[in-house]
Structure formats: C-alpha cells, structure tokens
Structure 1
Amino acid sequence: MPNIEEVVNAQAERLLAIPGCTAVAVGKKTVGGVRTDQDAIILHVDRKYDAEQPIPAAVAGFPTDVVEQRFDFRELATDPFARAEPLIGGLSIAGYSAPGDYGSIGCFIEADGTVNPVVKGVYLLTNRHVWRGPSIPAPNRWSSSLAGWSARS
C-alpha cells in the first residue's frame, strides 16, 4: 500500500481540479474543531461546504479533511541592497561577503531553546546561497548592527 505522501503526489492534480480547491497537503484530521492523531489528506478550499465540490471522504484509504482557507499571493520585488523595516518573508537580501549572491527571506522561526543545540531566539530562514558568510548586516535607523549569524556557512 502506498504511503500518504505518495497518494497525495499521485492524486494532487485530480484533487486540485475540484472547484474551489486551492491546495492539497498532508496533515492531521480535525473533527469538531479538535485535531486528532489521524493522518489525512487536507484539501484547502475557498469556501467550505460548497455544493459544487465533489470532495471524497477518503482517497486510496486515507481520510480527507476540508479546510476553508484562501491564499492571496502578491508579487514582491525589492532591492536586496536596500534597508527595509520591518523585515518580512519575501524581501530580497544579500550579504557583504558575497554581494553577487542574493535571494529572499523565507520566514522567521522562533525557537524556545528546548532543542539542543538551538538556543532560544528568533531565526531567519533562507537558502544557503543567499547567506554564505558568517554574518549579514541589518542597519537600522538608530545604529549599525547585525541581523544575525549563520548557523552553518
């Protein structure tokens, strides 16, 4: 029997063709507002309980769960060498040590310090080609400082 990820990969195109379906994912089924431990194929839809949606109760033996969630995308083009406040996911960034290499901020992650060796703090997540050096500058209006240091360079 295929695992749930294989089923989602094989069925994604068919499931995304369901009217109003905007995304397909693997997650835990929620019943009556309570998250369960049961793996499920999550179908994100513009509107839940739309009569036009022929959503199956299960796909290849895995239950489905319908989540109402609209995804709004916006194009974001920024200068990777300009200062931006606040820093948000999607902004272009570049480091001093390799100014020809730049990319974007993926997101910010807050660690609680309970997983060794990650200390408590807020971390910027990006790709390795974006942040090759040991540090990246982030001047602000009050002083020149660093945004942080690379965990692995």
Structure 2
Amino acid sequence: MKLTLRKQKQLYKRAAKAIEDYADRPDIVDIEFGLKLVDGLITDELCIRFNVRKKMSTKSLRSNLVLPNEIAGFKTDVVDFDNRLQILVLPPRTKIRPLIGGSQILSQIFLADPYAYGTLGAVMTLNGTYVGITNYHVLYGSIPAQMVQTDYAGKCRIFQHLHDTKSINSIGVASTVFDQALDFALIGIEEPVNLTQSLNGFPGVIKQIIPVDPIYGQTKVKKTGATSGITYGIVYGQSLRNPARFPIISDPNFQDKNLPLSLDGDSGSLWIVNDNDTNIKIVGLHCQGDGETNAVATSITSILNAVKKQTHEIYEN
C-alpha cells in the first residue's frame, strides 16, 4: 500500500480506537501502528504491533493474555524490542569549539562519577538567541518536572567536556523550556557556534526549522549520535499509546548491517530526512534504542508545538 499522510492519519485513528481495551495492560510495553516487519525488514502490510516485555508462545500463556490475530481489520504482530534510554555512563573527553549539533554534552546534575552524557541535537535560534536541543532525560534523568521547574531550569549548567572548577568547558544553562512527556529540553547557549555546519558530519545549515511528519516506510532518515556517529534508518510506524513517538529501523540501503543504528550516548540527537538538500528537514528527536537495529524518536512537530505554547515564539534563523 502506497500511503499518503492523509490516509495514514485516518487509518491511525481507526487503529487507536480499536486497541483501547489493551492500552493499560502491564505486560505490554507499547502498542504501535505501522508496517509489519519480517526478518527485520519492512513489508507493505499495515499491522497493529504489540511490544511485550517477554514474547512467549500462546500455549504457555493464560487464555486472557493471548492477543488476537486481527483487530479492526488490521493483522497484529507481537515483538519484544528492548528499547532503552541511551545515555552513556562514561566521562566525555572531546571538546568541540565552535559548537555543532551531534556533539556530546553533560549536565551539571550528573557530574558525580560515573559521568552520564548524551548528544546535543542541534544549535538553533529562538527569539534572537542561540539554543540547543536535547532530551529531558539527558539533562535531568528521572527528576520530576515540578522539581526541575523550581530547582534546575534556568540554573543547571551544561558542559560539552569534563567539568572543571572554572567552568571553562560550560556551553550554557538549561532553559526553562522543556517537557518531560515529550522528553525534550532546551539549553541557552553561551559559546560560539558553527552555523556553516549545523550537524556534525552533514553538509548544510538549519536556516529555519523545517518539520516533517513521516510516512511509514517512505520517510528515510539519518542522524549524528555522539557515540554511533552517522547512522541511517526508516520510520515504519507510530505509537498508539503516545502519538508523538515513532519507531525507526535500520535502512538496509544505507546502514552498515554490522553496525548498530544507535548506541548509549546518542540520546538527544536529531533524526533528519536523508536527502541531499542543504535545507535540513527535521523528523524527530532520538530518545531510545535497542543498541541494534531499532530506535525511537519524538516527533519534532509535537516538540515545536510545545515550544510555541511555552514561549509564544517560533524558531527562526
């Protein structure tokens, strides 16, 4: 099936309504709507995919836990992908100046040994000032949003290299703009930035934020993670529990099959459309991966809507 974005949204709504009875089951990690995978490759068959904590044979399950083969006209699939937050517990040692996206960053909160770092997705402008974007969990871990608002936002210093007492490796301060549910946070950048290359390893600059809502199986993407470097994937679905999340699988036409799609330390990197356009088009913010062929990203459209609501401003360059 050759999907259009309009048709995809219609079918997604139908699937979301159909899985309401399964949405709160504790044995199910997530429920996705998208293209079925066979031997790790995308097919053209739409399905409802249940990601469970442990995949078991139907014979070993109680009858009330067996998932149906079909729901609302959609075939079902059961997987046990182990997608995790991808912070790397090692001290960062590379200092990059001027700053570019794809570089490693470290929050003041995690200065105690062992260090825990993630990725600075990109440097952009908001209301005439430079800001960086990364995951909420990269800056704050599992600290509740209310505590972040009162104790850390606007105060927590962010480093691009090992901390020192003079703070000469600081790149800025955590912004008051963040969202724990969408897993994003902004950083007020105080260091010079390199706008001749906004993302490490990719030509082009972010002249303006061009958000792209992906089409399952058709939108090919790439990212620069602080650990894995440049990797390539394909968006192949969308979470029915959290519409802002979508899964990505390795693109066999670009990604080396012997290398992982993402690694610990890549949290916070940006997935952008894999084309040769120097106007970088952003699809989502990387937040999870299994260290092999699967990753999860948060929709950049959802993030920008949250930023606009909080700041009443729109990014521009």
Whether these two folds match at TM > 0.5 is yes
Structure 2 length normalisation: TM-score?
0.31
SS at match of 1:118: strand
Change (3 A) 1:114 1:36: same
Bigger radius of gyration among the two: 1
1:48 aligned residue (55, 64, 72): 55
8 Å contact from structure 1 (residues 25, 43) kept in 2: yes
2:142 aligned residue (75, 83, 88): 75
Q: Does 1:4 align with 2:2?
A: no
The one-character-per-residue Cα deviations of 1:15-63 (angstroms, maximum 9, x if unpaired) are: 2355612221111101233321211111111111252431111111111
Any gaps of 5 or more consecutive residues in structure 2? Answer: 1-9, 86-140, 161-172, 186-267, 287-299
User: 2: CA distance between counterparts of 1:118 and 1:71?
Assistant: 27
**TM-aligned CA deviation for residue 71 of structure 1:** 6.5
Change (3 A) 1:30 1:12: same
User: 2: CA distance between counterparts of 1:119 and 1:61?
Assistant: 34
2:74 matched residue in structure 1: 62
User: 2: CA distance between counterparts of 1:16 and 1:110?
Assistant: 27
Supply the AA of the counterpart residue of 1:108.
S
The one-character-per-residue Cα deviations of 1:94-138 (angstroms, maximum 9, x if unpaired) are: 2xxxxxx52242643143563462279xx895432456779xxxx
2:279 matched residue in structure 1: 117
Change (3 A) 1:60 1:119: closer
Change (3 A) 1:38 1:116: farther
Supply the AA of the counterpart residue of 1:75.
S
User: 1: CA distance between counterparts of 2:36 and 2:269?
Assistant: 26
Change (3 A) 1:35 1:75: same
- Higher relative contact order, chain-length normalized (CA < 8 Å, sep 6+): 2
User: 1: CA distance between counterparts of 2:77 and 2:36?
Assistant: 6
User: 1: CA distance between counterparts of 2:278 and 2:66?
Assistant: 46
**Higher helix proportion, which one?**
2
User: 1: CA distance between counterparts of 2:54 and 2:157?
Assistant: 39
Structure 1 length normalisation: TM-score?
0.57
Task: Kindly report the root-mean-square deviation, in angstroms, between the aligned alpha carbons of the 2 structures.
Answer: 3.7
User: 1: CA distance between counterparts of 2:27 and 2:34?
Assistant: 19
1:108 matched residue in structure 2: 269
Any gaps of 5 or more consecutive residues in structure 1? Answer: 87-91, 95-100, 135-149
User: 2: CA distance between counterparts of 1:41 and 1:70?
Assistant: 18
The percentage of counterpart residues that share the same residue type is 16
Give the length in aligned residue pairs: 122
Change (3 A) 1:44 1:6: same
SS at match of 2:48: strand
1:84 matched residue in structure 2: 158
User: 1: CA distance between counterparts of 2:77 and 2:31?
Assistant: 10
Change (3 A) 1:102 1:119: closer
User: 2: CA distance between counterparts of 1:63 and 1:85?
Assistant: 47
User: 2: CA distance between counterparts of 1:12 and 1:85?
Assistant: 43
